[in-house]
């Protein structure tokens, strides 16, 4: 499906039966308002932040080889010769929208950000984004301009760091076995 009238549209991708509209971060609110009012996407299903730090590098997925290609002699290789497509910036925020029509239409609006950049909050358009954006701030550290109450939601109020970022350690404790000293 093509959505031409969306303000700030940079690219459209179709994969696995889904449409992704990559939108310029500066015109996000315009694009979302257009989609809600003109195209009928009244339901914001989910707001998904993702961190792509280390995407495509050696050791991240473990078996993707180097930038020169796949090392078939490396142990555990399954012969995949391709690196994943590089991503434009470090963070992506995906807005999964649903139009309550028959048949239903789904679309994903995707914006790309670097660390430290903020984007506008869509709470005025879909009030449900309130907690989703708080979670994105809490776990990923993405700041939303204009959000009425951008505080931590899942972690402790005085927690430092943003746990779901790739440079934040998984944490936990080493497991001690009874046979060891």
Q: Which residues bind other proteins (CB under 8 A)?
A: 15-18, 20, 42-46, 48, 50-52, 55-56, 60-64, 76, 78, 80, 82-85, 94, 96, 98, 100, 102-104, 106, 108, 123, 126-128, 130-131, 139, 148-149, 152-156, 163-164, 168-173, 175
Distance CA 107, CA 21 (A): 7
For the CB of residue 10, give the shortest distance to other proteins in the complex, in Å: 17
Select 26 or 160, whichever has its Cβ closest to other proteins.
160
For residue 88, the number of C-alpha atoms closer than 13 Å in the C-beta half-sphere is 12
Distance CA 112, CA 82 (A): 23
For residue 13, the number of C-alpha atoms closer than 13 Å in the C-beta half-sphere is 10
- Helix (H), strand (E) at residue 154: none
Would you say 137 and 143 are in contact if contact means Cβ atoms under 8 Å apart?
Answer: yes
For the CB of residue 52, give the shortest distance to other proteins in the complex, in Å: 8
Select 171 or 179, whichever has its Cβ closest to other proteins.
171
For the CB of residue 123, give the shortest distance to other proteins in the complex, in Å: 7
Select 26 or 161, whichever has its Cβ closest to other proteins.
161
For the CB of residue 87, give the shortest distance to other proteins in the complex, in Å: 10
Which is nearest to 43 in space by CA: 114, 102, 129?
Answer: 129
């Amino acid at each position: 499906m093509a959505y031409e009238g969306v303000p700030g549209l940079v690219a459209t991708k179709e994969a696995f039966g889904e449409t992704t509209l990559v939108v310029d971060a500066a015109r996000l609110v315009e694009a979302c308002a257009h989609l809600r009012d003109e195209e009928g996407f009244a339901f914001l299903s989910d707001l998904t932040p993702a961190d792509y730090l280390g995407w495509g590098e050696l050791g991240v997925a473990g078996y993707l080889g180097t930038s020169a290609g796949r090392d078939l002699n490396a142990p555990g290789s399954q012969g995949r010769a391709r690196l994943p497509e590089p991503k434009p910036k470090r963070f992506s925020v995906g807005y999964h929208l649903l139009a309550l029509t028959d048949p239903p239409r789904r679309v994903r609006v995707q914006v790309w950000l670097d660390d430290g950049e903020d984007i506008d909050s869509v709470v005025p358009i879909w009030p449900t984004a309130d907690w989703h954006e708080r979670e994105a701030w809490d776990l990923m550290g993405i700041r939303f301009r204009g959000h009425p109450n951008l505080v931590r939601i899942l972690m402790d109020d005085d927690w430092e760091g943003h746990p779901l970022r790739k440079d934040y350690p998984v944490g936990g404790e080493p497991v001690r076995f009874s046979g060891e000293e």
